Structure 1
């Protein structure tokens, strides 16, 4: 070995036999690190395997395997009778970033520009305390999870596995699921669909994003209510649309303002949650429903109907979706099973005219070749055998009882601090707090004491501020609701 520099480099390599990574790969990693840092340069001859083995007290075969690994990756090249060299195809360089200085931690901060967009923060993976007044989630303790598990397992025990799962299938979803869902929606929601009108998606957000990608172009006008669901709003903005917010009152979206907008400019889509408006939970009154459909027919805009918790209505039968009265194919109807089971289950669907579903399925392939057909078919099984319907019938009176208790607690224990309207359905109470109460501080103190609730910032808009939050009651037992309100009362 002629070069003292190479001797020094090799002698300072530290290998750890206790690690799970084999020694030859640890040695290959060390040599590759030298190459990347410019300590070993293109065309430079490496010490023989015998010399390296002697310096590091290794078996010669271990060193040979490390050399072979780097040679297969293209970092080294070997010549019979001459030895092993750093590849001549590499370009020698000093490790620099675009700014001319070393990047302190490339795993934390990329070397390229990342745009800073005003989108909602991703859901934080923070510990969930025992008590929670959430955004309006179901109680998974009531959901037929065992039945869904058995149905999912049965997908793997039936014959014809290759026929069903051995290759890619329809991006719109498996035929069995789409047929079952079509029958279910026709029966429960008064729709008039076939399997060709159904597209399986992984929850409502995917449905919104897919429609924005496929049908919204930069500059298109999208209208929705304020306050609204910001994750939907930001999908519109991400698609390059011009978003216009119009007010929501105690009767839902103020359709009169939509009419005035349509007179002045072309509207491409209106996003609406008519059953229980998000976040205020109010229902869109019948005259406004009919006018919204009439305006869509007159001005040719899409109605995206987000019916996220159709099944849970307590005062009377659930209101029929806009899609059930749509005679001209103007409505794209979106629903989700996540509100029946748990947000962890990403199961949703889009319903629209056949040509729209075909177009969306083609676009969906660019994002997700197909959904989870095993889960779709398992869901179809528990719809076919009536499990889902029995669960819904069982859950509604339980959630109604929790709603009644929770509203009584708010009235009796927090009467001076909050105002609200008892919701006719859904899983949450839109609650306005006294202006003297700082919701951000309240949420922080509550979390420290073991209660999770929103700080309300997600419902703020540039021209709309409210000291209101959604307090979900469905996912908590009656005893948990009592403890939660008592804790809130102590903090306030």
Structure 2
């Protein structure tokens, strides 16, 4: 694993929390370019807006009077009046007799302040599970909005973690169906066992043996997606209040699922070699979690691969403390180097690892085919549990994947996909080096779909996302991947789904968004001291 480091300039914090009873020292956030063609009142309103939308100034924060701010900035009072009027028209500030000008509640602050949420829904709804419990609260709604924007033709989405249209095997599926569907109509179009089509289970077991995992078809349970597998195992193993160990950061869908089941989540940090198993060991000595959830290969969102030493240590800890491990492996076959990592399950000799993978990344998400590999008795119990919620997983999708594996066409498809994603990763890195004006720290993955970027202190992820949306480009914030409140300086960029032109243009637009933030908050002489992209 490599990490491309863009050295960070040392900046003081841009924002300091201010008690609402105290007038905000607003002039410290405003840097005027008097030679700029942008009017001074516009520069002032833009920079105040940024501070408010960043969440640094909460509802009720008091702003200086027009006269006081005019004196502090050495501008005409009319300039401040025009700036305040513009912000008031947008609903960001308002005047109160006896209190002066104060910040109003904003859309983004409403997301962050869950306790202040007031609902006038029918009373019978209050007995049901909160949607915040099921969807990671407001942050999940923000991500949903971003995903919706990605469907619009004028939006470039670097958020979507799906194969691009030209990698969806439509021609291959059409060929298989035209040649084989009539003969296989009962398997493809009829009911199938809860465990999945036996032909597919045998094919998946054979496929896994090639990757070093000694399983047979009895060890395979077919699912309609990885998230179904996480939920199935969670419902089977967990009771409300049970503890689950996850990596920090980790897959958002797993966080949502475990929280929806009432589990308490314990986060263990990830570094360049994967989960910090030394910290895990110290935690296991004190607590008794019911499950350890990991993505050891091309982890989402970081892209790191857990080292062999840590994999062995993790398995030893699972045996010692008798805690099962759920290995989620959606990206393990999307590698860019010859040193192909085996699944953690390949090292498991005691049945402690439950292995989960999917065809959504290697073929097409619309097929709705994933699978779980585990000890036969557990597969039998989970099958009984599964039939309560999903009696028949998509038979046509199962039949198609089974045929692809039987005809040995998946290997060629994966070779093409790996070459394409490798190229797109490098294209995105080159575009970042060319267009981004600030130093960033980027983990360079040897597989998967994502770049995990650590922004410098002068730019916050949420502020950058808001500015980038103005440029009609989206990505995913780092915060929802954390269970510890972190991720404020991280963003995840996905290079798989976007076209080559969209990758370059999207990165260029994010660079423009960065430049606007720098222009508002970082003095020009400080900007000139920022080093541009030395590679370590």
- Cα deviation, 1:400-427, whole Å, max 9, x if unaligned, reads 1111121122123215242212212111
Matched, 1:381 2:403: yes
Matched, 1:179 2:202: yes
Partner in structure 2 of residue 95 of structure 1: none
> Aligned to 1:270, what secondary structure does the other structure show?
strand
Q: Is the 8 A contact 1:442 1:455 kept in 2?
A: no
Partner in structure 2 of residue 367 of structure 1: 389
RMSD: 2.3
Matched, 1:391 2:413: yes
Q: How does 1:34-113 map to 2 (within 5 A)?
A: 111-113=124-126
Task: Give the greater-gyration-radius structure (CA).
Answer: 1
Q: Which structure's residues are more often helix, by fraction?
A: 2
Q: TM-score, normalised by structure 1?
A: 0.73
Q: Is the 8 A contact 2:437 2:511 kept in 1?
A: no
Q: How does 1:331-480 map to 2 (within 5 A)?
A: 331-414=353-436, 416-480=438-502
> Aligned to 1:380, what secondary structure does the other structure show?
helix
Q: Is the 8 A contact 2:302 2:450 kept in 1?
A: no
Matched, 1:270 2:292: yes
> Aligned to 2:194, what secondary structure does the other structure show?
coil
Structure 2 CA distance for partners of 1:257 and 1:343, relative to 1, 3 Å: same
> Aligned to 1:308, what secondary structure does the other structure show?
coil
Distance, in Å, in 2 between the alignment partners of 1:186 and 1:302 is 21
Partner in structure 1 of residue 282 of structure 2: 260
Distance, in Å, in 2 between the alignment partners of 1:407 and 1:159 is 45
- Cα deviation, 1:232-260, whole Å, max 9, x if unaligned, reads 12322333333211111121101011111
Structure 2 CA distance for partners of 1:337 and 1:165, relative to 1, 3 Å: closer
Q: Which has the higher contact order (CA 8 A, sep 6+)?
A: 2
- Cα deviation, 1:240-298, whole Å, max 9, x if unaligned, reads 33321111112110101111122223232110000012211111111110000111111
TM-superposed deviation, 1:387: 1.9
Partner in structure 2 of residue 67 of structure 1: none
TM-superposed deviation, 1:203: 1.2
Q: Is the 8 A contact 1:182 1:195 kept in 2?
A: yes
Q: Is the 8 A contact 2:471 2:510 kept in 1?
A: no
Q: Is the 8 A contact 1:143 1:391 kept in 2?
A: no
- Cα deviation, 1:211-230, whole Å, max 9, x if unaligned, reads 01112233432111111123
Partner in structure 1 of residue 94 of structure 2: none
Partner in structure 2 of residue 27 of structure 1: none
Q: Is the 8 A contact 2:242 2:289 kept in 1?
A: yes
| Gap regions ≥5 residues in structure 2 | 1-119, 515-536
> Aligned to 1:329, what secondary structure does the other structure show?
coil
Aligned residue pair count = 383
Structure 2 CA distance for partners of 1:393 and 1:323, relative to 1, 3 Å: same
Partner in structure 2 of residue 139 of structure 1: 164
Q: Which moved more, 1:133-142 or 1:223-232?
A: 133-142
Distance, in Å, in 2 between the alignment partners of 1:374 and 1:155 is 12
- Cα deviation, 1:23-68, whole Å, max 9, x if unaligned, reads xxxxxxxxxxxxxxxxxxxxxxxxxxxxxxxxxxxxxxxxxxxxxx
> Aligned to 2:207, what secondary structure does the other structure show?
helix
Partner in structure 2 of residue 211 of structure 1: 233
Distance, in Å, in 2 between the alignment partners of 1:173 and 1:154 is 23
> Aligned to 2:357, what secondary structure does the other structure show?
strand
Matched, 1:491 2:491: no
Matched, 1:128 2:152: yes
Partner in structure 1 of residue 183 of structure 2: 158
Q: Is the 8 A contact 1:139 1:476 kept in 2?
A: yes
Structure 2 CA distance for partners of 1:185 and 1:321, relative to 1, 3 Å: same
